[in-house]
């Protein structure tokens, strides 16, 4: 009997896959990161729980934002090198920038009440203007290091927009302002650097990032993968189904598709290869599963919290709305993998090599318990800001009494890793905030929305297609959260002005903004998976498109009828969900050439026609009736049945012809 598989994930930054963007820090700088992270966590706990550690009353929100932003920006210049040539040390100019940040933001924090009461964002004293002018380029550079060149270019051009907007054609013209006024509005106002993105980060996202890192360092990643192998590894195509479960769940916590691919891919891709999956297919499965994690409740990375802030709704509202679309996406992946495995007779791993479910559960039951606690606090107690802190505290407490308890050194590594993740997101959100401010101060956000509606000619479908293309293009090279924020400012108001549901509109742009991760020519997740599988990146990208094909249609479906976002009565929601599941099953079977319960669809030109008919039938099934389209659900279902019967009839006829010829 072979030894059972034992899955282990990287548990510290030295073991984790090297993405190449982070600086290799010496011990003193690692200690500095740990201290700064601990300070940021204490600040966040003090403010979110209103403990009043440092003053007699709750700290002013603006003072808290100045302090925590200053800490996060300092960590950006410690973590991310300016060029490839200083990845092994922190050069003098980065130290100078860190000292400058400390001085400027300490001054702002000290004078927080004056800044608010005297409205420095409109009329600031000379020192306020000077410090704002110094801070502005620092924010841009932090965005470049944390988010890459695309974010830097877009933010730079748009953050300076108020200075030259009056010189542009009328269609994109705005109110022109001098550089001093723009600088103080960006840095000292409540709509730019400290607008919704940074506020959501400081008050909501912070705790969930801490929980995600704690889950990884206490062994949550290995537990969920082992649990998935124990439950699904023996099924046909088992390792690929494990990838869907584990990568999707871990992606929900990390919010980073590429990072998730590089973390779980080295484990899931070889397991898939061992059971007969081709390299490009295995890499495509991993890319789609890791990218889909951003869409999956309960955490959904950081994007759901920012969306809730934009919509002025609770995070739970966003998470509930995301349930059905994410289920349909992962269900489509699951059906395709099952069909592929059945068609190619791919079996699962031998049970004797897999971990035992009972043993895995016994060793890691508390991970599930903590997850249940988190969901309970989010959904029933509505404690969105404090829930992840309670969950993290319970997790660390229980872990201390298990065989996996962390040493003090490992705990310090966890704190430093948390700081690295927080610094990356804070650097991006700080830069993106400048776009929000530039469009707000010029009044262009509403103008652009009206222009898009005008160009579409009041045709909602044309507007949606324009929105999908725009979202896809702007999502290229940007993180999911950054792309969403930019699109929420530019595009979402146009969709809402056209009469579409606000929540559905924001979900639409989030979905299309992240599709670039699995769609060539960029397809960052697919290319990362290709590097793990050592195969052609473009081939993996095309396979990812096929595996994730249903996600290109789902956003249109829930915009047509928000019942797919669980909005409406049970009698409105139930028919939409049932027909959607049937439709996804048919589309997935057509893409793989094998319909579950029917068998292979045959090859040749007739086989292509058959698959096209069945795929079309699946889409007709999946289209929600009522809502924007106004079509009757029963009529759609009956039409889809007729079309599917024609397709399956052709497949049956071809099968009989082949049998007779044989």
Residues 480-533 pLDDT 10s: 777 788 788 878 888 888 888 899 999 998 888 888 888 887 778 888 888 888
Domain co-membership, 161 together with 290: no
Average pLDDT over residues 280-285: 91
Q: Is the pLDDT of residue 472 over 50?
A: yes
Domain co-membership, 217 together with 181: no
Q: Would you say residue 35 lies in a domain?
A: yes
Q: How many domains does the chain have?
A: 3
List the one residue out of 556, 537, 653, 553 whose CA is nearest residue 606.
653
Tell me what pLDDT residue 132 has: 94
Q: Is the pLDDT of residue 622 over 70?
A: yes
Lowest mean pLDDT, pick from 3-12, 104-113, 312-321, 452-461:
3-12
Tell me what pLDDT residue 131 has: 94
Q: Is the pLDDT of residue 254 over 70?
A: no
Lowest mean pLDDT, pick from 214-228, 248-262, 537-551, 583-597:
248-262
Q: Would you say residue 287 lies in a domain?
A: yes
Question: In sequence order, what DSSP letters do the residues of 380-411 get, joined into one string?
Answer: TS--TTTHHHHHHHHHHHHHTTSTTPPPHHHH
605 versus 392: the higher-pLDDT residue is 392
Longest alpha-carbon distance in the chain:
91
H/E run at residue 209: helix 206-217
Residue span of the structural domain in which 64 resides: 27-199
Domain co-membership, 129 together with 231: no
Tell me what pLDDT residue 18 has: 39
CA distance 418 to 436: 27
CA distance 34 to 640: 59
Average pLDDT over residues 258-274: 81
Q: Is the pLDDT of residue 635 over 70?
A: yes
Tell me what pLDDT residue 56 has: 55
Average pLDDT over residues 288-302: 78
Contact 37, 75 (CB under 8 A): yes
Domain co-membership, 246 together with 176: no
Q: Is the pLDDT of residue 35 over 50?
A: yes
Domain co-membership, 182 together with 218: no
Q: Would you say residue 435 lies in a domain?
A: no
Domain co-membership, 237 together with 360: yes
Q: Is the pLDDT of residue 95 over 90?
A: yes
Average pLDDT over residues 404-421: 84
SS3 at position 237: coil
Average pLDDT over residues 592-596: 88
Average pLDDT over residues 584-599: 89
Q: What is the mean pLDDT of the chain?
A: 83
Domain co-membership, 49 together with 184: yes
Average pLDDT over residues 257-279: 82
Domain co-membership, 274 together with 189: no
Where is the domain boundary, 168, 199, 230? 199
List the one residue out of 451, 217, 238, 473 whose CA is nearest residue 338.
238
SS3 at position 594: strand
5 versus 391: the higher-pLDDT residue is 391
Question: In sequence order, what DSSP letters do the residues of 86-155 get, joined into one string?
Answer: GTTS--HHHHHHHHHHHHHHHHHHHTHHHHHHTTTTTS--HHHHHHHHHHHHHHHHHHHHHH-HHHHHHH
Which tokens go with 174?
């705005």
Q: Would you say residue 409 lies in a domain?
A: no
Q: Would you say residue 458 lies in a domain?
A: no
Tell me what pLDDT residue 1 has: 34
Q: Is the pLDDT of residue 170 over 50?
A: yes
Tell me what pLDDT residue 226 has: 83
Q: Would you say residue 254 lies in a domain?
A: yes
641 versus 460: the higher-pLDDT residue is 641
Domain co-membership, 225 together with 156: no
Domain co-membership, 112 together with 35: yes
Q: How confident is the model at residue 587 (pLDDT cuts 50, 70, 90)?
A: very high
Domain co-membership, 146 together with 253: no
Residues 120-141 pLDDT 10s: 888 889 999 999 999 999 999 9
Q: Is the pLDDT of residue 573 over 70?
A: yes
Tell me what pLDDT residue 446 has: 63
Bond prior to 583 in cis (omega within 30° of 0): no
Domain co-membership, 287 together with 242: yes
Tell me what pLDDT residue 12 has: 41
Where is the domain boundary, 387, 402, 417? 402
Tell me what pLDDT residue 3 has: 44
Q: Would you say residue 496 lies in a domain?
A: no
Where is the domain boundary, 162, 181, 199? 199
Average pLDDT over residues 342-353: 83
Tell me what pLDDT residue 174 has: 73
Q: What percent of the chain has pLDDT over 90?
A: 19
Tell me what pLDDT residue 17 has: 39
Q: Would you say residue 356 lies in a domain?
A: yes
Tell me what pLDDT residue 15 has: 38
Q: Is the pLDDT of residue 108 over 90?
A: yes
Beta bridge mates, 599: 595
């Amino acid at each position: 009997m072979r030894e059972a598989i034992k899955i282990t994930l990287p548990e510290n930054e030295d073991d984790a896959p090297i993405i190449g963007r982070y600086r290799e820090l010496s011990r003193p700088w690692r200690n500095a990161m740990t201290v700064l992270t601990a300070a940021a966590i204490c600040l966040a706990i003090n403010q979110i729980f209103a403990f009043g550690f440092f003053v007699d009353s709750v700290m002013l929100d603006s003072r808290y934002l100045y302090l925590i932003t200053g800490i996060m920006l300092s960590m950006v210049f410690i973590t991310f090198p300016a060029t490839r040539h200083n990845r092994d040390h922190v050069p003098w100019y980065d130290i100078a920038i860190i000292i400058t940040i400390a001085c400027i933001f300490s001054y702002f924090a000290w004078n927080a009440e004056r800044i608010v009461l005297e409205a420095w964002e409109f009329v600031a004293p000379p020192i306020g203007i000077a410090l704002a002018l110094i801070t502005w380029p620092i924010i841009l550079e932090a965005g470049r290091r944390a988010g890459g060149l695309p974010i830097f270019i877009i933010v730079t051009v748009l953050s300076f927009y108020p200075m030259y907007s009056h010189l542009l054609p009328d269609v994109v013209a705005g109110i022109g302002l001098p550089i001093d006024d723009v600088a103080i509005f960006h840095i000292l106002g409540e709509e730019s650097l400290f607008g919704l993105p940074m506020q959501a980060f400081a008050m909501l996202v912070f705790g969930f990032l801490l929980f995600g890192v704690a889950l990884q360092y206490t062994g949550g990643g290995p537990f969920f993968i082992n649990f998935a192998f124990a439950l699904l590894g023996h099924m046909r195509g088992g390792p690929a189904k494990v990838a869907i479960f584990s990568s999707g769940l871990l992606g929900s916590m990390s919010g980073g598709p590429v990072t998730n691919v590089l973390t779980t891919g080295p484990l899931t891709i070889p397991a898939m290869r061992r059971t007969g999956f081709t390299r490009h297919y295995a890499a495509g499965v991993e890319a789609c599963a890791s990218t889909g994690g951003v869409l999956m409740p309960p955490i959904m990375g950081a994007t759901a919290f920012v969306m809730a802030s934009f919509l002025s709704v609770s995070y739970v509202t966003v998470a509930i709305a995301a349930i059905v679309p994410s289920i349909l996406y992962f269900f489509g992946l699951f059906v395709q993998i099952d069909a592929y495995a059945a068609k190619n007779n791919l079996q699962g791993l031998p049970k004797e090599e897999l971990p035992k479910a009972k043993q895995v559960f016994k060793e890691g039951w508390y991970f599930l318990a903590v997850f249940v606690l988190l969901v309970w606090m989010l959904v029933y107690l509505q404690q969105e800001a404090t829930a992840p802190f309670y969950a993290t505290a319970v997790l660390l407490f229980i872990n201390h009494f298990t065989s996996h308890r962390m040493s003090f050194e490992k705990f310090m590594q966890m704190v430093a890793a948390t700081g690295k993740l927080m610094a990356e997101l804070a650097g991006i959100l700080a830069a993106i905030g400048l776009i929000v401010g530039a469009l707000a101060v010029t009044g262009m956000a509403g103008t652009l929305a009206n222009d898009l509606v005008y160009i579409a000619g009041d045709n909602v479908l044309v507007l949606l297609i324009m929105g999908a293309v725009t979202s896809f293009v702007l999502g290229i090279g940007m993180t999911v959260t950054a792309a969403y924020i930019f699109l929420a400012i530019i595009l979402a108001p146009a969709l809402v002005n056209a009469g579409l549901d606000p929540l559905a509109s924001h979900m639409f742009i989030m979905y299309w903004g992240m599709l670039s991760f699995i769609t060539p020519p960029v397809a960052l997740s697919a290319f990362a998976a290709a590097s793990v599988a050592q195969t052609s990146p473009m081939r993996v990208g095309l396979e990812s498109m096929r595996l994730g094909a249903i996600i290109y249609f789902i956003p249109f479906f829930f915009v047509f009828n928000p019942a797919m976002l669980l909005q409406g009565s049970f009698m409105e929601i139930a028919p939409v969900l049932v027909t959607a599941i049937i439709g996804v099953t048919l589309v997935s079977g057509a893409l793989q050439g094998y319909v579950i319960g029917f068998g292979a669809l045959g090859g040749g030109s007739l086989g292509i026609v058959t698959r096209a008919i069945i795929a079309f039938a699946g889409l007709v099934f999946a289209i929600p009736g009522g809502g924007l389209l106004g079509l009757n659900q029963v009529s759609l279902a009956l039409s889809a049945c007729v079309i599917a019967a024609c397709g399956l009839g052709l497949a049956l006829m071809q099968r009989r012809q082949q049998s007779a010829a044989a």
